[in-house]
Structure 1
Amino acid sequence: MTSAGSRSRTPQANADADGTNSSVTMRDVARLAGVGTITVSRALQHPDRVTAETRRKIDEAIAALGYVPNLAAGTLRSSKSRIIVAIVPTMSNSIFAETLQAMSDVLRPAGFHLLIGHTGYSAAEEEALVAAFLARRPDGVILTGYTHTPRTVELLRRARIPVIEMWNIGPDPIDTIIGMSSYDASLAMTRYLIRKGYRRIGYIGGLLQDNDRTAQREAGFRAGLEEAGRPFDPLMIVRAPFEFESGGTALGDLLNRMPDADAVFAASDILAVGVLLECLGRGIAVPGRLAVAGFDDAGISSRMTPPLTTIRVPRRAIGRTIAERMLARLAGRPTGERIVDLGFELIERASA
């Protein structure tokens, strides 16, 4: 035991209400790790500038002491938060998760942390998130798509930090945009189905509000029909939220409208999987009675029965390229073109 008036050699911190230790200092961490305080500071702010062994010792000391670095103070001194904000429409499926993971895999070793928000496909919610996150002084912001409120655009331009829009490329980025053309990919899939001899192609798309990806996919489908001289009928299109159950419900609606449909192109693999499951439940042979195609190449798509024909979006390449471009911008290096099209791949499988 320690007698009254004496001091323990191991820092004894008071625990805050959240369980963290408020009185442990960087000097305590340095002493336990056997390094200098400057080295601890460097490891926290620039982990790529210290050796792996040194980082290990410091991490172990931080864990043992329950040290929580005061990053806000460092931000005020350096004007750098080492936080990158990424805002996506949803976290309910793995489509965006792969892109976020690829970003983190590049940013974390460089000492940057990814702060994530999701909008629920609402431009108003995106605006609120941008305003809230900018108050934390991030070093850069990543948005999904190019549809934003005027205030969101104004906030980001006034912030004077790198802004990268992702996933769906558009003609006039706020700063830089990296992804692929949803329009071109949808046009390619429509052409494919027509070449395969399908005559009555129905389309199940996502909801159009505040979502340029679904709008461009629907436009690509219509352009493919027009190019082939096929008449367009609004009854050929059913729109639904991106949920598995919605795909099955939308198929029922579509077949009520187009009982002679011989193919269905869904704007997302989530919807397409729902279509396949509904076909299974109804005893509809795929592709014998009805061909099915999707968009995204989600992990489950190749494991369906039959495996799903789809558009492969370069999800990890998008995330990796964004993170590399962001780091280059923050380092003051030239980055080249403002619009980066990483392309897509049409994956032919047994469903169509």
Structure 2
Amino acid sequence: MERKRRGTGKSTLSDVAKFVGVSSMTVSRALRDPTKVSESLLKKIQEAIKEFGYIPNNAAQTLASASSRLILFVTPRLGSSGFQTIYHHMKLSLKKMGFHVLLAELNNKQADYDSLSTFISYNPVLVIKFDIQFTSELNDYLTKSKILSVSIGHTVNDSPQSETMITPDFKAAFELIAYKIASKEYRNPLLILHGEESFSQDIIRSWDRMLLAHDLSPNRVHPIYLAPSVMVGFDVLKELQTSFTDTDLVVTSDENLAYGIWFACRDAGIAVPAQLAIVCVGQLDLTQSGRSKLSGVHIRWDNLAAQAMEAVCESLELPSKTKTNTIPVEWISGESY
């Protein structure tokens, strides 16, 4: 009597290997590093995987080898300013280099950090942190595990020694705004800032330096703790009319907040920019249609992505094919300033 194989009934690596006519080890090698087999054989293996509906066990492959082709990308909020642009550019580049990218949306809650420990147990070759600061315990864990990391955000003192920092040039952004403020003699600018962003520390430092350099009152910052959106920006105007009645220029770190404030001004009969000017720092949609254009400083997130890819290649000792543009920020003329 034929012995039936115990299991889930799912296709196995052995099924794929028999179909192609090679050993299981060859198929495993092709899945770990496609460059180790010929293009024709790789194509046959990929066709067999589709035919059988085989799902590779990435965890088992990782445990069986000293390193993986997995890169973990962590952010607390998929809607963070610049995230979509940076993630899109880096994911495409990493896939061309043969890496798999695992995206984790986590915040500072202990439950999420427990989940992060599970992700790290898959032994990623590198962790990319966007707009997030790990606890010292997690940083210690990364260091002891010999897992490299690249952080896109602000510089912190307790970052692991193996971590590379990539930070937007907010200093250049606010120097450009300072020039614009001086040219029109605004005296009471106010920064509307999403309070949970890791970028906040760098933004506030650059903002206060700019205010002091032009003899303006520092600490004119209004934090927003809800996820930035047009509706949240719309509600902000009421708070400004109560707490910051002398404001003549609003600077936001998010495009949606800026539009929300602008729509609220229209609803309240406040002329933009005659009575209240609005400037956005960050992700400006240069191809927008159907909306009045915002004025502001456009952070070149695509350049930042290229710089981060250079850092990834340097960390993994891989040749870099990216070229970064030396222009860090640019002023976009619109109708809100």
Structure-2 separation of matches of 1:318 and 1:125: 30
Shift of 1:151: 1.2
Query: Which residue identity does 2:31 align to in structure 1?
Result: L
TM-score, normalised to structure 1, is 0.79
Most deviating of 172-181 and 124-133: 124-133
Contact 1:123 1:147 in 2 (8 A): no
Match of 2:222 among 235, 238, 257: 238
Match of 1:177 among 157, 162, 165: 165
Structure-1 separation of matches of 2:299 and 2:169: 10
Structure-2 change in CA distance of 1:302 and 1:13 (3 Å): farther
Superposed CA offset, 1:25-62 (max 9, x none): 33432444466655533331112445555444322221
Residue 266 of structure 2 corresponds to residue 280 of structure 1: yes
Match of 1:338 in 2: none
Residue 276 of structure 2 corresponds to residue 290 of structure 1: yes
Residue 110 of structure 2 corresponds to residue 131 of structure 1: no
TM-score, normalised to structure 2, is 0.82
Partner of 1:117, secondary structure, is strand
Match of 2:183 in 1: 195
- Correspondence list, 1:110-125, <5 A: 110-120=97-107, 122=108
Contact 1:94 1:298 in 2 (8 A): no
Match of 1:248 in 2: 234
Match of 1:153 in 2: 139
Shift of 1:258: 3.4
Unaligned runs of 5+ in 2: 321-325
Partner of 1:180, secondary structure, is coil
Query: Which residue identity does 1:188 align to in structure 2?
Result: L
- Correspondence list, 1:259-274, <5 A: 259-274=245-260
Shift of 1:278: 1.6
CA RMSD of aligned residues (A): 3.3
Match of 2:293 in 1: 307
Query: Which residue identity does 1:150 align to in structure 2?
Result: S
Structure-2 change in CA distance of 1:34 and 1:196 (3 Å): farther
Shift of 1:87: 0.9
Shift of 1:166: 0.8
Residue 331 of structure 2 corresponds to residue 343 of structure 1: no
Structure-2 change in CA distance of 1:165 and 1:183 (3 Å): same
Contact 1:141 1:161 in 2 (8 A): yes
Partner of 1:349, secondary structure, is coil
Match of 2:89 among 102, 120, 130: 102
Structure-2 separation of matches of 1:118 and 1:342: 30
Shift of 1:84: 0.9
